[in-house]
Amino acid sequence: MTTPSASLPLANLAEKGRAPKQRIDDANEARELVSHLIHANRERSRANAKIKGMLDGNPPYDRNVLAAKAQKWRCNVNFLEGKAALSAALVPYYDLFSGAREFVQVRTKAGRLEERVAWSKILSEEMDWLLRQYYGFDFHIQSLCHDMVTFGKGFLFWPDRDNWQFRHVHQSKVLVPDGTDAFAGNLEVMIVRERMAPHQLYRYIKDAATATASGWKVPAVRNAIWHAQPDQQDGTSDDYELYQQRINDHDLFESVRSSVVKIAHVYVAEFDGSVSHLIVEERNRKKENDPEEFLFEDYGRFGKFQEVICPFFLETLDGSWNGAAGLGKDIYAPMELKNRLKCSAADLTFLRSNISLQARTANALQKTALVQAGAFNIIPPDYEVLQSTILGDVTTPIAFDRMLDQMLSSNTGVYRQRMDKPEGNPRTAREVELQYQTQAVLGNSAVNRYYLNLDNAYEEIWRRVTETEPVKGVSQDGDLVLEFRQRLKDRGVPVRALEEVDEVMAFRVSGNGSAYLRQQQMGSMMTFLPLLPEAGRQNFLEDAVALLTNQSMVERYVPPAALLESPTDHQSIALLENAALRIGAPVVWTPTQNNVIHATAHLKAAGQALQSIQAGADPVDVLRFVDGIVAHVPMHLEALQGDPIRKGEREALVEQWKEIAAAADELRSQVEQLAQEQQRNGEMQQQAMMTEAGRDPDVRRKDAVALSDVRRKDMKAQADLQRRAVKDRQGMMLADLKTSAGIRLQQRKNEQHQPE
């Protein structure tokens, strides 16, 4: 039995100041260290078992004590209000984790600005895909949140050096010395207890040569598997939480269990800064002289404790690892009191609802039966009927129970609000709204702590994913990493984008864990929506659909084509349409076009064309191009008319269109005036030439008119032929361009919808 002053068997500096290469080099010392920490944790285990019993539904009174006092008739029920309070507290934390479109955001600093933005988006999407391929991802996160909220601390654990797939380990299985800080960076020793099935342990030594090279002691592991047995309690164990779990599972007295090997992972900080990893078996030796052996031994295996475990502390409080407490400790005493109050109120209610008789004599106890005569009850002689009002006050326990509810709500901030109608004047709609808004909402500090811990976990996952070199077919986690890298390569992300990652963090969800508050915030953002760029509006639309329905419904209401077509694609098509308008080719409006981008591109091109006249451009060609734009842009403006979000942009585009149309009208007048002057000058020159030739003016005039008509008809016919030929060529070119663009778009749609 250990004493309060027991020390851990760790090697220290030698007398001459030389640091030891390894602080534990004997399996007996490692097992002694494990035994010390298990015994030192017994009182914490007992307290946690009580909390777990309250949450599991253990009754408030000992049944044996009630039976001994002849009070088995008393109400002895756990009304599970503690479990309800815990469930309400867990909701916002899980919402912070699962309410995001993507679990993680990855930002790289490689490449130009536009490349960084595109690559970071792809890295985030593919990292999210990788996490979702992990079958136990959601389960382990939920288990983590349960431990963190209930007991104040939860742990994600990586037992291997390369495997990125973490798992949750119950808080009672992670042991550290007393006085340890609630910070993984300050750890000196850590024990992680684990029960492994024989087939699970055998996987590590299946290839004996590889296992030996990795640090496994194959003969010792085989011996441990050979002696595996069901984990049965003999009544001397200090693992009180395990007893409570069996009570909750109803397998304390009758149980069928598989054989397990009870092992303990021992992690020790060495003097050189590294962390050694040792594994020993917890079982007692069969013989006194039976030598203790390591199952696994790898000194300096990890660079720091954060590569092994990621702790989630609900609150650091005084900074003590073992002193961390959660909601379970906060509500344990009030919930026990509430259960007793409710049981007492139930007892009093039964007493008040029955007829109470008092025997006046001892002989009266022999004749207690009531005699019924029709609708009347005849009470035997020597009995007196007691008034129910003297049997106890039922309203006082109920009032006190409500007071406890208010206290819990004030102290914890997560206790579920009652929807009872309060006394006095009715509350206003705003008061009810504020009360509902504050239910199951976390404070900013709690949200920040949770996300910072989650950031640490994602950073370690990213390190393992990018720094390991898995071999195909060896392990499922390694195959996923190879597929992850191939997906990045297929999407055009270079290797340097992975190597120069600047930040890996959890996706932040608004609302502090409350969907209602998130809706309120989305409604408030509607005011600023017209000020957002196109990409921001698209994201707002996706978030709004996900909030009102769920994330899987986003593509149903926001089609993939709208997601795949970036503004650059619309600008490219708008430029092709401008080229067609320059030569007089027809341009067709389609509902899938981004009307703001198209109208802006067209009007900008028209303005540049009008300015080019000063540089010597042909006014006739410019007028033909501008007239085409003036006739085409109203299609886009009409499509924007029913969009309240685009109201401001539409009004600005309408003003630009009016200016362009007015400039076109003015240019048209100038072109017509210039044409009339040129015609008059030509006629005057022709008349002068005829006069000089001495011919009759009338005859010459008629000849000139006839010749001019013939030439004009020939030129018109030739121009019509050329225009038709050019129009046909441009139409074919535009159709080819749109067809190729449609093919590329369909290919992107197909890639988007390919099953993962």
**pLDDT score recorded for residue 410:** 62
Q: List pLDDT tens digits, range 127-173.
A: 999 999 999 999 999 999 999 999 999 999 999 998 999 999 999 99
632 shares a domain with 524: no
584 shares a domain with 541: no
Check pLDDT > 60 for residue 706.
yes
**pLDDT score recorded for residue 164:** 95
Contacts of 173 (CB under 8 A, 6+ apart): 192, 193, 194
Check pLDDT > 60 for residue 285.
no
Quick one: tokens of 485? Answer: 């890298």
Q: How far is the C-alpha of 182 from the C-alpha of 151, rounded, in Å?
A: 14
Please say which residue of 311, 330, 346 terminates a domain.
311
Domain assignment present for 475: no
275 vs 444: which has the higher pLDDT: 275
Secondary element (H or E) of residue 685: helix 647-692
Check pLDDT > 90 for residue 703.
no
Please say which residue of 491, 525, 558 terminates a domain.
558
* Rounded (5°) CA angle 386-392-396: 155
182 shares a domain with 58: yes
Contacts of 704 (CB under 8 A, 6+ apart): 686, 690
Q: Are strands 189-196 and 174-175 parallel, antiparallel or unpaired?
A: antiparallel
Highest mean pLDDT: which range of 60-64, 406-410, 427-431, 718-722? 60-64
Q: What are phi and psi of 181, to 5 degrees?
A: -70, 150
Domain assignment present for 590: yes
Check pLDDT > 90 for residue 699.
no
CA–chain centroid gap for 542, Å, is 15
Contacts of 601 (CB under 8 A, 6+ apart): 571, 574, 575, 578
Check pLDDT > 60 for residue 422.
no
Domain assignment present for 215: yes
Instruction: Please state the rounded mean pLDDT for residues 202-223.
Output: 93
Domain assignment present for 131: no
Check pLDDT > 70 for residue 120.
yes
Which band of pLDDT confidence, cut at 50, 70 and 90, is reported for residue 433? low
**pLDDT score recorded for residue 506:** 92
**pLDDT score recorded for residue 371:** 61
Domain assignment present for 366: no
> Side-chain half-sphere of 129: how many Cα atoms within 13 Å?
17
532 shares a domain with 609: no
Instruction: Please state the rounded mean pLDDT for residues 421-445.
Output: 57
Check pLDDT > 80 for residue 319.
yes
For residue 69, give the DSSP letter.
Answer: T
Check pLDDT > 90 for residue 268.
yes
**pLDDT score recorded for residue 167:** 93
672 shares a domain with 536: no
Check pLDDT > 70 for residue 423.
no
Instruction: Please state the rounded mean pLDDT for residues 97-114.
Output: 88
Instruction: Please state the rounded mean pLDDT for residues 501-513.
Output: 86
Q: Which of 108, 135, 128, 104 is nearest to 119 (CA)?
A: 108
Read out DSSP for 296-333?
A: EEEEEEESSGGGTEEEEES--TTSBSTT---HHHHHHH
609 shares a domain with 536: no
For residue 181, give the DSSP letter.
Answer: B
Q: Which of 611, 628, 561, 557 is nearest to 590 (CA)?
A: 561
Please count the structural domains in the chain. Answer: 3
Q: End-to-end CA distance of the chain, in Å?
A: 56
Read out DSSP for 507-532?
A: PP-TTTT-HHHHHHHHHHHGGGGGGS
633 shares a domain with 543: no
Which band of pLDDT confidence, cut at 50, 70 and 90, is reported for residue 71? confident
Quick one: tokens of 512? Answer: 């502090």
Q: How far is the C-alpha of 584 from the C-alpha of 589, rounded, in Å?
A: 16
**pLDDT score recorded for residue 521:** 75
Quick one: tokens of 218? Answer: 């194959």
247 shares a domain with 202: yes
Instruction: Please state the rounded mean pLDDT for residues 526-533.
Output: 76
Secondary element (H or E) of residue 405: helix 395-412
Check pLDDT > 90 for residue 538.
no
Q: How far is the C-alpha of 404 from the C-alpha of 39, rounded, in Å?
A: 36
Check pLDDT > 50 for residue 312.
yes
For residue 275, give the DSSP letter.
Answer: E
576 shares a domain with 550: no
Q: Which of 169, 154, 175 is nearest to 456 (CA)?
A: 154
Secondary element (H or E) of residue 120: helix 113-133
**pLDDT score recorded for residue 562:** 47
Secondary element (H or E) of residue 268: strand 259-269
Contacts of 106 (CB under 8 A, 6+ apart): 120, 123, 124, 127, 462, 501, 503, 504
Domain assignment present for 397: no
* Rounded (5°) CA angle 164-170-172: 135
Q: Are 420 and 443 in contact (CB under 8 A)?
A: no
Please say which residue of 269, 285, 311 terminates a domain.
311
Rounded (10°) angle between helices 137-151 and 327-353: 70
Q: What is each CA distance from 62 to 59, 74, 246, 605, 627, in whole angstroms?
A: 7, 11, 18, 87, 93
Q: Which of 73, 106, 24 is nearest to 461 (CA)?
A: 106
Q: How far is the C-alpha of 529 from the C-alpha of 540, rounded, in Å?
A: 8
Detail the DSSP E strand segments found in 7-100: none
Q: List pLDDT tens digits, range 21-56.
A: 899 988 989 999 999 999 999 999 999 999 999 999
**How many Cβ atoms are within 10 Å of 310's Cβ, its own excluded?**
24
571 shares a domain with 547: no
Handedness of CA 571, 575, 576, 581 (dihedral sign): positive
Check pLDDT > 90 for residue 511.
no
Check pLDDT > 70 for residue 693.
no
Q: Are 597 and 571 in contact (CB under 8 A)?
A: yes
SS3 percent helix, strand, coil of the chain, rounded to 5, is 60, 10, 30
Residue for token pair 């320059």: 582
Highest mean pLDDT: which range of 632-636, 694-698, 746-750? 632-636
Q: List pLDDT tens digits, range 650-678.
A: 888 889 989 988 888 888 888 788 777 77
654 shares a domain with 598: yes
Q: What is each CA distance from 358 to 348, 391, 598, in whole angstroms?
A: 17, 12, 95
167: left (phi over 0), alpha (psi -120 to 50) or beta: beta
393 vs 546: which has the higher pLDDT: 546
Quick one: tokens of 506? Answer: 């959890």
Q: How far is the C-alpha of 177 from the C-alpha of 191, rounded, in Å?
A: 9
Q: Are 578 and 737 in contact (CB under 8 A)?
A: no
**pLDDT score recorded for residue 170:** 94
Check pLDDT > 70 for residue 720.
no
Domain assignment present for 458: no
Min mean pLDDT across 87-101, 181-195, 513-527 is at 513-527
**pLDDT score recorded for residue 715:** 61
Instruction: Please state the rounded mean pLDDT for residues 432-459.
Output: 75
673 shares a domain with 619: yes
Whether the pTM exceeds 0.75: the reply is no
Check pLDDT > 90 for residue 415.
no
**Dihedral of the alpha carbons of 69, 71, 77, 78, in degrees to the nearest 10:** -20
Domain assignment present for 200: yes
User: Domain residues for 676?
Assistant: 564-753
Q: How far is the C-alpha of 86 from the C-alpha of 329, rounded, in Å?
A: 11
* % of the chain with per-residue pLDDT over 90: 32
**pLDDT score recorded for residue 2:** 44
Check pLDDT > 70 for residue 590.
yes
3-state secondary structure at position 280:
strand
Min mean pLDDT across 160-174, 197-211, 568-582 is at 568-582
* % of the chain with per-residue pLDDT over 70: 76
Q: How far is the C-alpha of 19 from the C-alpha of 273, rounded, in Å?
A: 12
Q: List pLDDT tens digits, range 472-491.
A: 988 899 999 999 999 999 99
Contacts of 204 (CB under 8 A, 6+ apart): 211, 214, 216, 221
